């Protein structure tokens, strides 16, 4: 059973569906780091999150869902409200959907809380959780997070980095120098230019939405291998598809018991294609973790061409709390 430790964005997504009948509110767990941990925990991995989050009403919704899904949380009680994002989906008369994110609360219109990094001192005290990890994942960097990644690297773990914030800049080059996988979306590619040091072990993956993805081993500036997007005629929401891709890729690497640099081109290409298929499948469900709530675990294993090792209980979708507007639990 692989052991995965992650630090970074764990959030609550408030999903606002706009259609001819008006507006409906639902919820999903969210945040890149949180999604990857939650998905792999449902697949049987030992997953742990390191981060800061206050025990507020929304914080309890986020953490309770992670616990039900099998993710362990190690929490710094610093001043850090649970990050919340309003995920809007508009469906037109032809059934075509587009989605966007907002930092305005859909209940009271006030600004929603954003991610707060745990202190470096607290992160460094969590080194015991990292020493025996098989995979270390980060999507938000700090000096403390980089120290944990370095420890994981020295202990032989697979180090995965998903650049997602400009505030990572002071530590980005050092992180990419030790990473085994660096995955990023095309709209963030420019932030990596000039910051990618030589690292012949690293698998670079650039996701490009419905154009598929480009990837390369060891050459950040030459992403010349292409994997086409997989079409899903039942797609309703692409939110979180990249996180499902990452989870499927890590699952495949764990099955192979190898790091990307130890695989052949054909083996990597097959992993990419399978992960792209899982990402497309995830678009058939509402919200970043919809596939965890609305599909049997067996269906996910089928997408991975794997046999279930366990049969966990269904994971309920978190229920958004809508109180009076003068006492909103979100903003």
| Model confidence pLDDT, tens digit, residues 294-312 | 998 888 889 988 888 777 7
Which residue ranges make up each domain of the chain? Answer: 3-11+32-82+118-327
Question: pTM of the entire structure?
Answer: 0.93
Mean pLDDT for the chain overall: 89
The predicted pLDDT at position 194 comes to 66
**Which of 191, 247, 245 is closest to 215 using CA atoms?**
245
The predicted pLDDT at position 325 comes to 47
The predicted pLDDT at position 21 comes to 76
For the residues 116-131, what does the mean pLDDT come to?
96
Provide the pLDDT confidence category of residue 139 given band limits of 50, 70 and 90.
Answer: very high
The predicted pLDDT at position 29 comes to 93
**Which of 148, 200, 149, 145 is closest to 168 using CA atoms?**
145
The predicted pLDDT at position 324 comes to 44
CATH code for the domain defined by 3-11+32-82+118-327: 3.40.1190.20
Provide the pLDDT confidence category of residue 328 given band limits of 50, 70 and 90.
Answer: low
Compute the distance between CA of residue 259 and CA of residue 203 in angstroms, rounded to an integer.
Answer: 9
Q: What is the pLDDT of residues 54-95, one digit of tens each?
A: 988 889 999 999 999 999 999 998 878 899 999 998 877 676
The predicted pLDDT at position 314 comes to 78
């Amino acid at each position: 059973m692989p052991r995965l430790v992650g630090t970074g964005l764990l959030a609550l997504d408030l999903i606002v569906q706009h259609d001819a009948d008006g507006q409906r509110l639902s919820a999903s767990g969210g945040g890149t780091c949180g999604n990857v941990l939650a998905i792999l925990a449902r697949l049987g991995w030992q997953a742990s999150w390191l981060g800061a989050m206050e025990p507020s009403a929304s914080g309890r919704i986020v953490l309770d869902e992670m616990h039900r899904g099998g993710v362990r949380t190690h929490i710094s009680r610093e001043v850090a409200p649970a990050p919340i994002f309003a995920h809007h989906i508009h469906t037109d008369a032809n059934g075509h959907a587009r989605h966007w994110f907002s930092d305005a609360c859909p209940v009271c219109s006030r600004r929603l809380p954003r991610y707060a990094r745990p202190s470096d001192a607290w992160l460094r005290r969590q080194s015991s959780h990292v020493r025996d990890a098989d995979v270390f994942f980060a999507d938000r960097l700090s000096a403390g997070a980089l120290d944990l990644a370095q420890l994981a690297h020295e202990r032989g773990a697979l180090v995965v980095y998903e650049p997602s914030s400009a505030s990572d800049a002071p530590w980005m080059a050092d992180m990419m120098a030790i990473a085994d996988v660096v995955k990023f979306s095309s709209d963030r590619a420019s932030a990596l230019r000039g910051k990618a040091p030589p690292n012949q072990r690293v698998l670079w993956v650039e996701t490009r939405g419905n154009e598929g993805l480009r990837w390369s081993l060891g050459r950040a500036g030459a992403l010349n291998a292409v994997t086409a997007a997989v079409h899903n005629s039942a797609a309703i929401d692409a939110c979180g598809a990249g996180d499902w891709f990452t989870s499927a890729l890590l699952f495949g690497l764990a099955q192979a018991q190898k790091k990307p640099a130890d695989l052949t081109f054909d083996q990597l290409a097959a992993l990419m294609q399978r992960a792209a298929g899982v990402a497309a499948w995830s678009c058939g469900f509402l919200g970043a973790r919809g596939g965890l709530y609305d599909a049997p675990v067996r269906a996910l294993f089928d997408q991975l061409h794997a046999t279930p090792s366990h049969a966990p209980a269904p994971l309920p979708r978190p229920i958004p709390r809508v109180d009076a507007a003068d006492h909103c639990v979100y903003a």
